[in-house]
Amino acid sequence: MSDILFLCELCEEGLRAEEERAGHILSCPRCGASVKVPNSSMVPVPARRVDQAFLDTCMACGGQVSRAAPACPHCGHPLASIRAEAKLKQQQVREKAQAEFSQRQAREQICGSKKAWLVVLVIAAAVGIWLFATPSGKRCWATYWSYGPGGEMTRHDAQAEAAKAGQAQKLEARTTHQISGDHWFGCTSRSHFSRLVGLATSGDTEAFQQALNTGLATGSCTTFQTGEIVYLIDVGVFSGLAKIRRKGETKEYWTNMEAVK
C-alpha cells in the first residue's frame, strides 16, 4: 500500500499520509493548519503561497504556526495563553503611547498658554511705556471727549482740567480775592462771556470790541481794575471760569479764573 503525498494549502509544507487515511483531516506539523488528505486518484491541489497574515510565531520555540492552531505543532506549547499575553502586552503598549501623547498635548497647551500670556504682558508693557514715557502717549491718555445735550463732542485735556481744579480749590479756600490785572472783563451771562472769548481768540478784534462795548453800555459786561476786591461766588472747574462779585455790589460776573488771585 503506497502513501499519499500532498502539500499543506497554507504553508506549502510537503505532507505524507497512508492511503487508508484519504479524506481524513490532518494537522500540518509546520503551521498547524487543518488539511484534508486527498484521495489517491485526486491530483493534489496546488498550494497557494503562504500569507504571513495567517501565521504567528511561537514564543516558546520560534516556529511558524497558524493562528487557528490551538497549540504549536513543533513544540506542543499551548498558544491560547501566549496569544492572551501578547494581546495584553500590545494593549499595555497602546495605553502607554496614549498616555505619553496626552501628556505631550497637555505640556504643549501649558506652553502655549504661557506664551500667550507672555505676549499679552509684552504688549501691555509696550503700551504702558508709550502712554507714560512718550509725548504722544501722554497726550493720548490725558485727552478725552464728552457729549453735550445736543450731541456735540467736546475735547478735554485732563491735565489742564486737573490744574484748573486745583486752582479753583485754592480760590474757594479764601474769602476775598483781588483782580490780577487791568485787561480782564466779565459778563453777567456765562454764554455771553464765552461768546466774547471766542471772538477774542479768533483774532476778530473789531467784532470783539464792538460786542464788549455793547455789553458795557447795557451793563451786562464790565472791566476790572488791578487790585479790586471781589468775592468768589462760583467756579466752573472744567471750563476755567469763575463767578465773582465786587465788594459793595450785588451784581455777579463771569470771568476767567486767572483774573482772580
Tens digits of pLDDT across the chain (261 residues): 577 888 887 777 778 888 888 888 988 888 888 888 888 645 444 444 444 445 667 767 777 766 666 677 777 777 666 667 767 777 888 888 888 888 888 888 887 777 788 888 888 888 777 666 665 555 555 555 555 556 555 655 655 666 666 665 655 555 678 898 778 899 999 888 888 888 888 888 888 888 889 989 998 999 998 888 888 888 876 677 888 889 888 889 999 888 888
Q: Model-level pTM? A: 0.37
Which grid coordinates are listed for 222? Answer: 464790565
| Cell digits of residue 51 | 500569507
- Residue 108's H or E segment, with its range, is helix 80-133
Residue 233, CB-side half-sphere exposure with 13 Å CA sphere: 14
| Cα–Cα distance, 12 to 119 (Å, whole number) | 68
Domain residue spans of the chain: 3-78, 158-259
Taking each helix axis as running N to C, give the angle between helix 205-218 and helix 190-202, from 0 to 180 degrees, rounded to the nearest 10. 150
Round the CA-based radius of gyration of the chain to a whole number and report it.
53
Please compute, for residue 69, the number of CA atoms within 13 A of its CA located in the half-sphere on the CB side. 30
